Structure 1
Amino acid sequence: MDDPGSTLRVEVLGPLRVVVGGLPVEVPGPKRRAVLALLALAEGRTVRVDRLVDALWPGDVQESGRQALHTHISRLRTHLGPAAARVQTRHGGYRLDLAADGLDLAQARTLLARARETPDLAVLKDAHALWRGPALADLTDVEPIAVAVEGCAQLYREVTDALIACAVGAGRAGDVVGLATAAHADDPLREPAVLLLMRVLAATGQAPEALRTGREYRRRLADETGLDPSPALGELERDVASGSGKGGPAPVEHTRPTTRLFGREAQVATLHRLIGSERLVTVVGAGGVGKTRVALEVAQRCEASTVLLLAPVTDPAAIPHALAAALNLQVAQGDVLAACIALLGDRPGLLVVDNCEHLVDAARDTVGVLLSACPGLVVLATSREPLGLAAEYAFRLAPLALPDSDRDLAEVPSVAVFLDRARRVRPDAAPTPADLHLVADVVRRLDGMPLAIELAAGRLSGFSLTDLHRRLDRALDLLGGRTGGNGRHRTLRATVEWSYELLSDDERRLFRYLSVFVDGVALDDAERLAADLIPDTDPGAVLARLVDASMIDAAFAEGGTRYRILETLRAFGLDRLTAEHEDDDAGDRLLRWAVDLTTWFASTVATEREPEADAVLRRELANLRAAWQSTRSRGAIDDGAVLVASLHDAVTYRDLIEIRGWAEELAADFIGDPALAAHPRAAAVLGTAAEAAYHRGDHATAEGLARGGLDRATDKFGTWCCLSVLSVVALARGAHAEVVEHSLAADAIAPRPRDNPGVAALAMAYSGELDRARELQARGRSGAVSPSMRAWNHYVAGEIESVAGDTGAAERHYLQAIDLARTSGATFLGGVALVGLVALRGRAGRTADALRGYRDVVDYFARTGNWTHLWPALRNLADLLRRLGDPDDAAVLDSAADASSDAPAVDRAVRPPAAPAVSISRAEVLRVARDAIERNLSR
């Protein structure tokens, strides 16, 4: 539970207001207020540094903007005091951690959604009261804030409309006369405001004024826009004139939804807007995503609508007869479709055509005729692929939102659907917090697919929640049910197979092979696979067809187009691979892809394109994990060795703990199998594993692996790997002569300029030989090309200048190193440079900056498990604590470091032991450090 004093609330529905621990806090300066507003409006998402800089300093040089931004972030944390930690530094940007009630905008949205599900006048009044004036009026010169302010204004209109409508429905129209009048005055041409004011006036005995308002709107709309109002105005005028009530829509006589709709309010609202401007809207999505349910919700909210269900129709010629039945039209003879057109005529109305995919050609022809012959008709279709008409607007329906944290799980739409259906089969079982976490994992593994979630919840009639969770690996068959009365499929396997059978043979084959990619595949890779599997076709056309058929999903991001397959569809594809005896071939192709990707990474990461290589590696990590597991299950030692050796840079600089584990796992095979002693990549594998062992603080294992690799080395790269590890292990021991020996030997055979001269320079600097250190640092600088190597060079220069006592120069180098490391994704380099920076600031008397820096350092290295570099930071922190009059905590940290085998050696002439070495748990060490930091910051 959060400390009440560190709670943070940001209010944007009016002038920016900040409340920390229940007390208002002043944030001075428009730029700083804009930074806070942009982070708050992101609602928990990370905002990239370049986006913040572009928004706040659009005409300035990026570098100066970055420096100014970091300054504002630092000062913003100072303003927030005990809530400073809620401004979090993330890879490439910043994030504001707010509780569920920490942003008034999100609170207003939640209250509105709750009131729409269950009308509640008090809830809507609370939502309306959150506005304190125009939103962020003094910050609208920042473009993203101006865009967000427009969204706030739209939300205000929606809340106001809902409040007025609810008050009328509750017989409290007199309470909202002023509000309805003001809403109409703000935008006299907004029809919902006009209709609501008319309803309020009629309900308060002012029918003539209500009719006058309607006439004035009709005249003004024609004069200013040349448009006519919707039929709703005429219907309301008739109702008011006849005194028949409030003018609500007549009941819709068609298929009605039988369950509550969760998490689709935004999609339903969007579809309502679309059918107001488009003639044909097709809701497209995978089977089981909820297309029919959303379409029925839209139809239910329309005045005049007809629903045509095509799922039971198997003969294309029967579509007109099904339409006539939906229209309750008896056609004894003649052209049935012509009779339907005559009935529909030119009157306005909505026709929902559900489940078109198995009759897509006939459905396209029928809808095309209806749109041409019935000018007032709007068609809302549902299909797993678009119909293909020129007038069509394809609206792709995504699965339900998934939980992204442990907060408010029951309110997440996918979880809410599960709980709602579960209550129907086990009404007495109230979910515990542990149950909610299991449900969250269930819905994640089912991709948020409503059908899958409903079927899973239904299985609680025969399984406990734990048993269901354990069996989800066979969800395609486990989650079965009866076929619905309308012919719809009610098992996951049947639902997926329905779509699969509509594909061509080539499309099916590509779908099967794509299913081995567990986390999607980039466009270029997908096209290469398609061209290889289906050489005589256009790869892009086959991929587009799979997207249109909702078998794969195309996601568009900065990294380019990426194709993903929902987990239930992917499981089906893997089953089909086995059935077609293609699983071995598909697995081979995945390994070739992984080898090609990691080989590309190894060469590209050494260039100025390192940030691109880092982004690709992180994006493909899940697929590489699947490839790695395949090397283990297949005994593919050669492929595994290529993966590990090619990812040496990731092991060294990127804190990707999982890849470090792969290296040590494969090294164990090389050590345990004499037949692998002469493997050409043995030294590279053992050297990479030695690097991984060094980072987790096991220096003895690191040295043993490196020396074993040297004994087997047959190539320069493997030899270089092992010598490099020996140099950093020697540096941790304080054996500076060995460091220089191993580093220079490694540098002499390095396949490209690396960090070895810099490691030797550190040893020289720590030995007091500053001239020699600067010479070696200059040698390293001359060959530095990639951002991480330039970052390393700046870090080494910062260490040298720190030892020399030039605080200003050292700080500039540390800051450059941190910035370059962030740019390149070399998180480890950023961490060690931050250690040097905060130690320097502590010695310079910048206590608050240093303590906040140590807080970040402790969190970072504790999270990555790198105690080899955390111990020096804790020793530096101990020095600062002693200077601040906190000798007890300093002694605990120093003695714990002295007792730890993975703490680097210290020069006892410079730093004598303050107390006998005492071994305490690492959790206790972290607690002591964090408590001491916070206590001294609060002084």
Structure 2
Amino acid sequence: MVTSPEAGGPPPITWGVLGEAEVRLHGRPLPLGHARQRSVLVALAVEAGSVVSVDALVDRVWGERPPSRARSALSTYLTHLRRALAPAEVAITRRGTGYLLDTTPDTVDLHRFRRLPVRAREQREAREALALVEDALALWRGEPLAELDSPWARAVRERLHRERAAAEADRVDWALACGRHHGVLPELTARADAEPLDERVVGQLMLALYRSGRQADALTRYQRTRHHLTEQLGADPGPALRDLYQRILVADPGLTPAGPDAGVRAGAVTGPVVVPRQLPAAPRSFTGRAGELAALEAATTCVIGGAGGMGKTWLALTWAHEHLDRFPDGQLFVDLRGFGPDGTPTDPSAVLRGFLDALAVPPDRAPADQDARGALFRSLVSDKRVLVFLDNAASTDQVVPLLPGGNSCTVLVTSRNHLPGLVTAHGARHLALDVLTDADSHALLAARLGTGRTTAEPAATAELVGLCGGFPLALGIIAARAHTHPDLPLAEFAAELREAGLAGLDDSDPAASLPTVLSWSLHHLTAEQRTAFALLGIAPGPDIGPPAAASLTGTPPARTRTLLNGLVQASLLTRTAHGRYRMHDLLRRYAVDTAHRDLTGRQREAALRRVLDHHLHTAFAAERLLSPHRQQVRPAPPAPGTHLQPPADARAAVVWFEAEDRCLAAVQHVATALRRHDAAWQLAWHLDTLRRRRGRLHDQLTAWRAALVAVEHLADPALHVLVHRRLGAACTDLGRHDDAIDHLRHALALAERHHEPADRHRVHQALAWAWDAKGDHRQALHHATRALHDHRAAGNAVWEARAFALVGWCLAQLGDHDAARRQCRDALALFHHHDDPEAQVFALNRLGHIDHRTGRHREAVRHYRQALAVCRDLGDALLEADTLDHLGHPCTALGRHREARAVWREALGLYRAQGRDADVARVRRRLDACDGDQSLTVLSGS
């Protein structure tokens, strides 16, 4: 119970939760009703002055299985509590979706208990620190939150017990510093007997024994502790305890006790402290990161960067504890609070004062000026081997005053920012921390939960690993929940996380809540950066390039690059080797939540329309460069704010497509979601040439299926003909002959019904290809001849030449090789004249086939090689695979078996990449037979 504020006498009202709940007004208790009603007040008092949601209150009071009428009961309890608190003029107010206890945290014993030790550690005098921590410990009246038994309450109690243990240990240190070793000796003896492996307690007891004139007992206690550590852990005492043992052994004068009334500094636990040991404990169950740990070996100053929850501090602490022998002169540690709930980074001047205290600088020698403090600090450690661990830094400016200088010390800095100033001006090494691998994630769960449990549920474990995305904090949250509920199967945790998404990694404890930890990163962003971060979350595709990002955000390209780089510096975005940007999966989920929380629906839709138009217009420009003879379909004007950056030439168009390939299907989905049906089918059209040439045949089929859904909303019959025709062609490319012919017959019927002659010609040509691929060459010749007559009548020279070559191919398939050769040669001349390289490949391949069939194998090889050169110049992987496949046959006929196998293996690789399974199986069988039949020929060198 709080009995008085820090100054000004007792407060009129006090709240007690470190024991049974009570409220006192001017020292007299107020009636609070039954235990459940008091529990509601405790759940609010623990966060006095802050809003607690209804869901959180229900969870805190009733736990995981609340009664069906819990919300109704909660409302009743709150009404009674308001009535009970009325004499104190304290309100419980409704705020949004929760309630707030309108009182200051200073009046609640729990909050005061937590704040007093913090103030104690800031004191320069041990007497003042001791008084404050004793005030804190006096607030305990029993078991905290005694009337609550929910998971939340148990977690709060566990944290409070840890904090009380830390305060007790600090109290003993300050009591020893004040010369009160006789007073603490009995309790230290009992604690050391109960916790024989706690080296801090043992060290305190050894010092108290030595100062009490019991040097032999102090040395005996050390040997006993050393024996326990060796037997149970296989380890020796740490450097701090070993150092104290040596000092006691030689009766170091620095261990002489101070008088009970001496004004000893708060940090002076064992006299003049010259070997600080400030590292927090090493993390347990640390797994993986072997490469990162190795990378720290050679660094004098290293900045460990990464997103919140990535395990930066754990990595640094693990490395530091594994290499304590490298820092015999001590280890300094400080949490710079660059990212946290209060958003206020620690002042470097205050850190320097703490470092000087740890290095035994008397208060009267510590300069008041920050620069002078820094100079003194550097002088003290200039020739020493000290580790300086600066955790959670906000900026370069916060770190630079704390650098020791020279080369003898090692500095570890962790930050969500990249701190490029340290790298540029101070030679620091930057170590970017990424997510854990799946193997390391499995190992982490197994270390926390036991291999038996993870092995028993391999599927659930694998799903948890996938849902956590390699984030150590996410894995730690799930492991902690599973650990506290050992009887629940892991499948339940996986199902909960699958359904809840990122909210499934939330928690009332900010440090154990991934959304909260990630939110701290946004505190340091500008409003423009926060908007960009949110929009990048809803961007289509797994990554994004700067031009598309400029359209998404609606900012000029130069400004966009600045925004992207700022998010990279904040570890919220990653730049890939190809100059694109991506987010980790959990960060992206948080960005999506941010977009839906902070941006209006109109803002989100406008951004998606801009990025859709950017891709649509770029695809249009690329398609015009790659297939100039193809029918042009010009998109509608782009939305305002769209930044267009069309490719400069055909090669740039291919580079753009390769970079955006994984995003384009998602862009088409965006078009469908926005009901931009014109854009949905146009994307399929403009990307058709690129996808076919690059062998993205399944993507091509998927795109045309989506286009077919889109044109159902459009009335133009010509569009229906076009989409069915292209869908039929896509099925032909993948060997789905029956589906292809069905779509093409439907397209032909539509073209004839609506009198679309140009479309009818092209459908006949597509039908010729489909029948030829199915093996019915007479049907193919019929449709090829119809296409030729129709194109000739329409006066379309390019399409007429293509149909001319197609007729020649059909004749060749039917055995009329002379006529076929003439047709294909004439067509090839026309293709050269009209600069139609794709059609040239077709004619050259047909001539190669005819030559091979008629025994002119050298001419066949020459034609196929010419076709191959054009394919590669075009970047047409689809035709390249077919040409390589054909080339192997005349090579075999000429006895060039090694060359034949080489081209077939190359064709096999392309077929596999294109998902052409029937072709893969066919070429694989041919290679297997070739390897068996021709082994002697190969060995003979023929």
Q: TM-score, normalised by structure 1?
A: 0.57
Once residues 662 and 755 of structure 2 are traced to their aligned partners in structure 1, the CA distance between those partners, rounded to angstroms, is: 32
Structure 1 unaligned residues grouped into runs of 5+: 1-249, 403-412, 878-925
Secondary structure in 2 matching 1:538: helix
Kindly indicate whether residue 572 of structure 2 is the aligned counterpart of residue 573 of structure 1. Answer: no
Deviation at 1:642, TM superposition (A): 0.8
Once residues 789 and 398 of structure 1 are traced to their aligned partners in structure 2, the CA distance between those partners, rounded to angstroms, is: 50
Once residues 523 and 670 of structure 1 are traced to their aligned partners in structure 2, the CA distance between those partners, rounded to angstroms, is: 29
1:285 is aligned, of 306, 316, 337, to: 306
Deviation at 1:497, TM superposition (A): 1.0
Kindly indicate whether residue 502 of structure 2 is the aligned counterpart of residue 476 of structure 1. Answer: yes
Deviation at 1:379, TM superposition (A): 3.7
- In the TM superposition, what whole-angstrom CA distance separates every residue of 1:456-505 from its partner, at most 9, and x where no partner exists? 4445446645555554474422124574xxxx733221122111222111
Q: Which residue of 2 aligns with 1:503?
A: 525
Deviation at 1:442, TM superposition (A): 5.3
Kindly indicate whether residue 728 of structure 2 is the aligned counterpart of residue 693 of structure 1. Answer: no
1:391 is aligned, of 412, 416, 425, to: 425
Larger mean Cα displacement after TM superposition, 605-614 or 776-785: 605-614
In structure 1, give the amino acid aligned to 2:445.
R
Secondary structure in 1 matching 2:542: coil
Kindly indicate whether residue 828 of structure 2 is the aligned counterpart of residue 777 of structure 1. Answer: yes
Kindly indicate whether residue 772 of structure 2 is the aligned counterpart of residue 731 of structure 1. Answer: yes
Distance 1:527 1:293, change over 3 A: same
Once residues 703 and 441 of structure 1 are traced to their aligned partners in structure 2, the CA distance between those partners, rounded to angstroms, is: 42
Contact 2:864/2:883 (8 A) holds in 1: yes
Q: Which residue of 2 aligns with 1:623?
A: 663
Once residues 658 and 493 of structure 2 are traced to their aligned partners in structure 1, the CA distance between those partners, rounded to angstroms, is: 32
Kindly indicate whether residue 352 of structure 2 is the aligned counterpart of residue 352 of structure 1. Answer: no
Distance 1:627 1:439, change over 3 A: farther
Larger mean Cα displacement after TM superposition, 467-476 or 584-593: 467-476
Deviation at 1:428, TM superposition (A): 2.0
Aligned residues: 605
Deviation at 1:454, TM superposition (A): 3.2
Q: Which residue of 1 aligns with 2:158?
A: none
Q: Which residue of 2 aligns with 1:722?
A: 763
Contact 2:347/2:398 (8 A) holds in 1: no
Q: Which residue of 1 aligns with 2:178?
A: none
Q: Which structure 2 residues correspond to residues 32-111 of structure 1 after superposition, within 5 A? A: none
Distance 1:687 1:441, change over 3 A: farther
- In the TM superposition, what whole-angstrom CA distance separates every residue of 1:173-215 from its partner, at most 9, and x where no partner exists? xxxxxxxxxxxxxxxxxxxxxxxxxxxxxxxxxxxxxxxxxxx
Kindly indicate whether residue 880 of structure 2 is the aligned counterpart of residue 830 of structure 1. Answer: yes
Distance 1:393 1:578, change over 3 A: farther
Kindly indicate whether residue 376 of structure 2 is the aligned counterpart of residue 342 of structure 1. Answer: yes
Once residues 836 and 534 of structure 2 are traced to their aligned partners in structure 1, the CA distance between those partners, rounded to angstroms, is: 42
Contact 1:653/1:827 (8 A) holds in 2: yes
Once residues 657 and 836 of structure 2 are traced to their aligned partners in structure 1, the CA distance between those partners, rounded to angstroms, is: 19
Q: Which residue of 1 aligns with 2:29?
A: none
Secondary structure in 2 matching 1:514: helix
Contact 2:623/2:689 (8 A) holds in 1: yes
Distance 1:853 1:542, change over 3 A: closer
Distance 1:761 1:318, change over 3 A: same
Kindly indicate whether residue 699 of structure 2 is the aligned counterpart of residue 659 of structure 1. Answer: yes
Structure 2 unaligned residues grouped into runs of 5+: 1-274, 629-647, 937-942
In structure 2, give the amino acid aligned to 1:687.
R
Contact 1:716/1:750 (8 A) holds in 2: no
Contact 2:725/2:744 (8 A) holds in 1: yes
Once residues 332 and 398 of structure 1 are traced to their aligned partners in structure 2, the CA distance between those partners, rounded to angstroms, is: 39
Distance 1:472 1:601, change over 3 A: farther
In structure 1, give the amino acid aligned to 2:728.
A
Q: Which structure 2 residues correspond to residues 135-146 of structure 1 after superposition, within 5 A? A: none
Q: Which residue of 2 aligns with 1:709?
A: 747
Once residues 569 and 441 of structure 1 are traced to their aligned partners in structure 2, the CA distance between those partners, rounded to angstroms, is: 18
Larger mean Cα displacement after TM superposition, 742-751 or 633-642: 742-751
Q: Which residue of 2 aligns with 1:321?
A: 350
Deviation at 1:792, TM superposition (A): 4.0
Once residues 569 and 721 of structure 2 are traced to their aligned partners in structure 1, the CA distance between those partners, rounded to angstroms, is: 49
Deviation at 1:399, TM superposition (A): 4.8
Once residues 569 and 837 of structure 1 are traced to their aligned partners in structure 2, the CA distance between those partners, rounded to angstroms, is: 50
Deviation at 1:292, TM superposition (A): 1.9
Q: Which residue of 2 aligns with 1:642?
A: 682
Deviation at 1:343, TM superposition (A): 4.5
Once residues 414 and 912 of structure 2 are traced to their aligned partners in structure 1, the CA distance between those partners, rounded to angstroms, is: 51
Once residues 432 and 582 of structure 2 are traced to their aligned partners in structure 1, the CA distance between those partners, rounded to angstroms, is: 12
Kindly indicate whether residue 569 of structure 2 is the aligned counterpart of residue 548 of structure 1. Answer: yes
Kindly indicate whether residue 445 of structure 2 is the aligned counterpart of residue 435 of structure 1. Answer: no
Contact 2:304/2:433 (8 A) holds in 1: no
Contact 1:286/1:550 (8 A) holds in 2: yes
Secondary structure in 2 matching 1:502: coil
Distance 1:839 1:574, change over 3 A: same
Kindly indicate whether residue 803 of structure 2 is the aligned counterpart of residue 763 of structure 1. Answer: no
Secondary structure in 2 matching 1:273: coil
Once residues 528 and 797 of structure 1 are traced to their aligned partners in structure 2, the CA distance between those partners, rounded to angstroms, is: 48
Contact 2:305/2:312 (8 A) holds in 1: yes
- In the TM superposition, what whole-angstrom CA distance separates every residue of 1:688-708 from its partner, at most 9, and x where no partner exists? 111112123343432343344
Contact 2:768/2:782 (8 A) holds in 1: no
Once residues 593 and 798 of structure 2 are traced to their aligned partners in structure 1, the CA distance between those partners, rounded to angstroms, is: 44
Identity of aligned residues (%): 21
In structure 2, give the amino acid aligned to 1:284.
G
Q: Which residue of 1 aligns with 2:513?
A: 491
Once residues 583 and 723 of structure 2 are traced to their aligned partners in structure 1, the CA distance between those partners, rounded to angstroms, is: 34
Distance 1:930 1:376, change over 3 A: closer
Larger Rg: 2
- In the TM superposition, what whole-angstrom CA distance separates every residue of 1:608-663 from its partner, at most 9, and x where no partner exists? 95454334323323322222223344443212111111122245444324323334
Q: Which residue of 2 aligns with 1:140?
A: none
In structure 2, give the amino acid aligned to 1:686.
H
Deviation at 1:789, TM superposition (A): 5.4
Once residues 682 and 852 of structure 1 are traced to their aligned partners in structure 2, the CA distance between those partners, rounded to angstroms, is: 43
Deviation at 1:507, TM superposition (A): 0.9
Secondary structure in 2 matching 1:380: strand
Deviation at 1:316, TM superposition (A): 4.6
Q: TM-score, normalised by structure 2?
A: 0.56
Kindly indicate whether residue 858 of structure 2 is the aligned counterpart of residue 808 of structure 1. Answer: yes
Secondary structure in 2 matching 1:286: coil
Secondary structure in 2 matching 1:551: coil
Kindly indicate whether residue 485 of structure 2 is the aligned counterpart of residue 449 of structure 1. Answer: no
Distance 1:693 1:296, change over 3 A: same
2:283 is aligned, of 244, 258, 281, to: 258
Once residues 848 and 373 of structure 1 are traced to their aligned partners in structure 2, the CA distance between those partners, rounded to angstroms, is: 65
- In the TM superposition, what whole-angstrom CA distance separates every residue of 1:759-790 from its partner, at most 9, and x where no partner exists? 3442344431112221112222344466x555
Q: Which residue of 1 aligns with 2:400?
A: 368
Secondary structure in 1 matching 2:458: helix
In structure 1, give the amino acid aligned to 2:720.
A
Deviation at 1:562, TM superposition (A): 1.0
Q: Which residue of 2 aligns with 1:381?
A: 413
Secondary structure in 1 matching 2:576: strand
Q: Which residue of 2 aligns with 1:590?
A: 611
Distance 1:572 1:691, change over 3 A: same
Contact 2:307/2:416 (8 A) holds in 1: yes
- In the TM superposition, what whole-angstrom CA distance separates every residue of 1:34-76 from its partner, at most 9, and x where no partner exists? xxxxxxxxxxxxxxxxxxxxxxxxxxxxxxxxxxxxxxxxxxx
Distance 1:740 1:344, change over 3 A: same
In structure 1, give the amino acid aligned to 2:580.
R
Q: Which residue of 1 aligns with 2:627?
A: 606
Contact 1:284/1:395 (8 A) holds in 2: no
Contact 1:831/1:860 (8 A) holds in 2: yes
